[in-house]
Amino acid sequence: MGAHREHGVDVEELTVADAPQVAALESVTFSDYPQTQATYREPLTEAGAAGLFADGRVFGIRRNGQLIAVTATSAQGDLTETHFTSVHPDHRRQGLATVVKAASILANADAGHTWFGTGGAGTNAGSIGMNEAVGYEITETWHTLVPPRSDDRLPS
């Protein structure tokens, strides 16, 4: 994986000692996640971040020592599932989400995993673009049906 110093960032696999930084980054980015019935997630606590390391692998990008991007994965058999990928708002639109997600895919492929899955709300164009950039194909979608608001109903 190694450093990418020419761009001023370090890409690395994180350890459980990084859980507080992962939780802190997620607290900054939490409001950016689409919250629907199909894609709802709870805010990540430090304990929850530590659990990510027990269940899988976590990769990050640091700039000047600060964690600015993260992706968390877990594997069952040949399948590696990405739980989330996020980038600090001050460091977006630089391709960092794609870089950290690609690093996780390569590391998990090197570990023998051959099948990769990820989620993403259709309302999150950045997530869809990142997933397509690393080679994912959209094979399923989730739809949330909600009753119309009372002012949207046709007159009776």
Residue 94 has a pLDDT of: 85
| Size of the chain, expressed as the number of residues it contains | 156
Q: Could you please report the per-residue DSSP string of 82-148?
A: EEEEEE-GGG-SSSHHHHHHHHHHHHHHHTT--EEEE---TT-HHHHHHHHHTT-----------PP
Terminal alpha carbon distance of the chain: 63
CA dihedral 8, 48, 26, 57 (to 10 degrees): 30
Residue 10 has a pLDDT of: 87
pTM attached to this predicted model: 0.77
Residue 88 has a pLDDT of: 94
Mean pLDDT of the chain: 79
* CATH code of the domain made up of 3-152: 3.40.630.30
Region 54-71: mean pLDDT is: 93
Note whether 76 and 68 are within 8 A (CB): no
Region 66-91: mean pLDDT is: 89
Residue 36 has a pLDDT of: 63
The model's confidence at residue 116, banded by pLDDT at 50, 70 and 90, is confident
Region 59-70: mean pLDDT is: 93
Tell me the domain boundaries of the chain: 3-152
Express each pLDDT in 4-19 by its tens digit. Answer: 555 678 899 999 999 9
